[in-house]
Each structure stands twice: as structure tokens, then as C-alpha cells.
Amino acid sequence: MSLDQIGEIRASVAALCAEFPGSYWRALDRERAYPTAFVEAMTRAGFLGALIPEAYGGSGLGLRVAIEILREVHKNGCNAGACHAQMYTMGTILKHGSDAQKARWLPGIASGAIRLQAFGVTEPTSGSETLALSTTAVREGDTYVVNGQKIWTSRAEHSDLMVLLARTTPKDLVARKGDGLSVLVVDLRESAQGLTIRPIRTMMNHATTEVFFDQVRVPAANLIGVEGQGFRYILDGMNAERALIAAECIGDAEWFIAKASAYASDRSVFGRPIGANQGVQFPIARAYAQTRAAALMVERAAELFDAGAPCGEEANIGKMLASEAAWAAAEACIQTHGGFAFAEDFDIERKFRETRLYQVAPISTNLILAFLAQNALKMPRSY
Ligand SMILES: Cc1cc2nc3c(=O)[nH]c(=O)nc-3n(C[C@H](O)[C@H](O)[C@H](O)COP(=O)(O)OP(=O)(O)OC[C@H]3O[C@@H](n4cnc5c(N)ncnc54)[C@H](O)[C@@H]3O)c2cc1C
């Protein structure tokens, strides 16, 4: 896709976002409410089906374009956290599902008739150590019986399906460390029996929950790929997620930088614009440089992904640098605005809370550094 075409898509995303100004997000933030109207508009516009091939009703635009969509959403002061997973969670089905499973779910996901935006991996006790998860799925005839608990399962209350990672073979019986976990698609509409979803109130409006499974029956037909290979399937999907969320961070950084530089040029104290002082302008300029550099890495990750080439290193570096650039820009924006940064109406304190998440989730910075140290630099493993 040419830069002109990308520019056209970004312009239509910006036009959509103009319908959802700061006042819309502030009201939701106060109530911790889901941005239903925004998600519906994103769905109607077809943006959430960007990674689904045309054969299944998506637009098949690829990750290079998808990152621009989310970047533009955030650059315009909106937040795609409520629906970004509709874009990428289906990747596990697309890549590892059977033809029948793809035909069953992907067209509905592309149109928005089916919401697949819940991803149940993290558990309270396992944390970043995914292989230590203890939710089990035991095969009984043509169903799996699921028991256990997930935490931070975002958007579960706004999702029809959940991609669940559960243990199907006990840890001490597997040949290789990464074996024994399986991916099941849980239909949250059909599997209500034994399933409890509890919202967790967080420092930003994120619709995240904890999910309890008590003898929940999931049809064996909903197993993705081969039983016991689920951990690899989940790892496979993570690069797209990293790049997309990194793009949101870049958009956040761009929003903070635009806001900070405009205010610094406008606000006069001691008889001249505060932005004439290098103590004010340098942090903004530094955040700008960090953002430009991070964007190049994220774009590179997406290009490699679309070419079917390995991109784990680029996606992880991009996600780390982008989350740090967003944070530097947020800091500079707060400092530049002085006291006004703390007033709700400026939207800065809300965006500040929102963008902090991405140094922790979906993967924390330390885990990215450990990945780079161990894989790129071949240093000893720390875990
Ligand atoms: C708002 C929100 C939404 C989320 N949404 C989802 C979701 O939809 N689905 C889902 O499955 N999960 C989700 N998560 C979970 C998220 O992926 C985890 O919080 C994240 O991976 C970190 O895991 P943890 O919180 O258990 O931290 P821990 O693993 O307990 O780590 C705590 C700290 O210790 C550090 N640490 C741990 N081990 C090491 C080590 N070996 N070396 C160096 N440092 C280390 C980490 O970097 C981190 O800073 C969400 C989290 C939040 C807060």
C-alpha cells in the first residue's frame, strides 16, 4: 500500500475520531463506562477487520496499515483499548484454526457480529510466567471441562468469544517445558454455566475483569490446532499485538507532544512564551526524537510481519521504545502545563493515566529486556 493510501486511511480515522472529543472520553472515564458508540463506529467503518483476509469478509490490509489506524486513533485523543483486541485476537484462529473454524468465526468477527476481544492468559499466581498457569481443561468425551481463574481478562463483558489458554496435560507429564497448554475458544454466550466475570476497577477506564471457571464445559470442536501446543500458538500471535499497542503509544506520544508544544508557544510567563526556555522545550523535543525513532522500529516490525518474516525482536523493541516515548511525552506535557495539567478538562491527566499501562501490559519492560538479552545477545537466562 502506498503512503498516499495510508494517508487517506489515516484521514478517515481522524474524521471518525473528531466525532468523539475529549468530553466524550471524560464522561466515560468518570463512570468507568465502555465506549460503545466509539467501538460501534470503528466496527462500522471496517477498521477492526483490517487483519482479516478479504476471503473472510475483512479488508486484508495487513499490519502495516493496521498500526496506522490505531496510531491515528490515539493521536486524536481517543483510546482504542476498548476494541483493539478485536483486530488481533483472531490471529490465533486465522493462523492455527481449521478451515471449518475459520469459516465459522472469522466472517462474524470481520463484520462485528461476533466480538472476539477477550484473551485469557494471565492468572493471579502465574503472572509473567505463563507456563506456570494452573487453569485446567480436562477432556471428557466431546467437551473440555475447564476449572480455574484468569485475571486482567480485559473486555470479557463486551465479548462473545474468549481465546483461553489452559493446561491440558499436567506440567510434570510433558516432554518439553512449553508443551501441555492448549488454546480453546470459549463462547461466553453458550458457556455461562459455571462462568463468573467480575470487573476490576483500575486507575484508568479499561473494562478489565477477573474470570472464574467452575466446571465450565467447552466443546472439543473449539480446540485450536493440536492439543498441548497452545503456548506456541499464543506466542505466535504476540508480535502483532505488540506492534499494534506500540502504535497506540506512538499516537499517545504525538498527542502529548502536540498539546505540549502548542501550550508552550502560547503560554506567557515573565513576559515571554514558556516554550522559549530550553528547560521547557528540550524535554518536548527529546520526547519527539524518541517517538520518531520508536515509530521507525514499529513500522519495520509490521513490514516484516506482513512479509511473513520473523519480527519478534523488532516488535518487542518497538513496543518498549514506544511505551517509553509515550511516557516521556506525557511527563513533558504535564510539566509544561504546570497546574493546568491536573485539571480534568485538559484531558492530560486522563491520558497520562492511560498511557502508563503500556510499560506493564501486555508485557512488562523487564520481560522485553530479558527476551533481548537471552535471544538477541545470547546471555544467560534469568528464568
Ligand atoms: C489493565 C490491564 C489489562 C490487561 N489485559 C490483559 C488481558 O486482556 N489478558 C491477559 O491475559 N492479561 C492481561 N493483562 C495482564 C498483563 O499482561 C500482566 O499484568 C503483565 O504481563 C505483567 O504480569 P503481572 O502483572 O503478573 O506482573 P508480574 O509477572 O508479577 O511482574 C511484576 C514485576 O516484576 C517484574 N519481573 C517479573 N519477573 C521478572 C524477571 N524474571 N526479571 C525481571 N523482572 C521481572 C516484571 O517486569 C514486573 O515489573 C492486563 C493487565 C492490566 C494491568
CA distance 170 to 179: 9
CATH no. of 232-376: 1.20.140.10
Instruction: State in Å: Cα 265 to ligand 1 middle.
Output: 39
70-122 pLDDT per residue, tens? 999 999 999 999 999 999 999 999 999 999 999 999 999 999 999 999 999 99
* The predicted structure's pLDDT at residue 290: 98
Pocket of ligand 1 (CB under 6 A): 119-122, 127-128, 152-154, 202, 206, 208, 357, 360-364, 366-367, 370, 382-383
CATH number 3.90.1570.30 is the correct assignment for the domain at 3-111: no
- Kindly state the percentage of the chain with pLDDT values over 70: 100
Instruction: State in Å: Cα 239 to ligand 1 middle.
Output: 17
Residues of the chain with CATH 2.40.110.10: 116-230
CA distance 84 to 80: 5
What letter would DSSP give residue 147? E
Closest residue CA from atom 24 of ligand 1: 127
Span 116-230 CATH architecture: Beta Barrel (2.40)
* Angle of CA points 316, 321, 325, to nearest 5°: 150
Buried b (16+ CB within 10 A) or exposed e, 263-293: bbeeeeeeeebbbeeeebbebbeebbebbee
Neighbours of 373 (CB within 10 A): 14
DSSP 177-207: TT-SEEEEEEETTT--TTEEEEE---SS---
* The predicted structure's pLDDT at residue 3: 83
* The predicted structure's pLDDT at residue 263: 98
CA 27 to chain centre: 23
Q: Please state the rounded mean pLDDT for residues 254-271.
A: 98
Neighbours of 365 (CB within 10 A): 15
Q: Would you place residue 243 in the very low, low, confident or very high pLDDT band (cuts 50, 70, 90)?
A: very high
Residue 1, pLDDT > 90, answer no
Instruction: State in Å: Cα 165 to ligand 1 middle.
Output: 16
- For residue 311, give the 3-state DSSP assignment: coil
Q: Contact 248/358 with Cβ under 8 angstroms? A: yes
Probe target for ligand 1 pocket from 367, 368, 382, 383, with the most ligand atoms within 8 Å of CB: 367
Atom of ligand 1 nearest to the CA of 128: 29
Atom of ligand 1 nearest to the CA of 154: 8
Instruction: State in Å: Cα 344 to ligand 1 middle.
Output: 28
Probe target for ligand 1 pocket from 206, 360, 374, with the most ligand atoms within 8 Å of CB: 360
Could you give the C-alpha distances from 169 to 48, 73, 96, 178, 228, in angstroms and in order?
35, 42, 20, 11, 7
Backbone angles phi, psi at 194, to 5 degrees: 90, -5
Probe target for ligand 1 pocket from 130, 152, 235, 238, with the most ligand atoms within 8 Å of CB: 152
Instruction: State in Å: Cα 272 to ligand 1 middle.
Output: 45
152-169 pLDDT per residue, tens? 999 999 999 999 999 999
Probe target for ligand 1 pocket from 163, 231, 359, 364, with the most ligand atoms within 8 Å of CB: 364
CA distance 187 to 223: 12
Q: Give kind and range of the element (H or E) at residue 321.
A: helix 312-337
Residue 192, pLDDT > 80, answer no
- For residue 98, give the 3-state DSSP assignment: coil
Q: Contact 291/217 with Cβ under 8 angstroms? A: no
**Averaged pLDDT of the chain:** 97
Residues of the chain with CATH 1.20.140.10: 232-376
Q: What pTM, to 2 d.p., does this model score?
A: 0.97
Atom of ligand 1 nearest to the CA of 121: 11
Backbone angles phi, psi at 116, to 5 degrees: -115, 90
Instruction: State in Å: Cα 170 to ligand 1 middle.
Output: 23
Residues of the chain with CATH 1.10.540.10: 3-111
Closest residue CA from atom 7 of ligand 1: 153
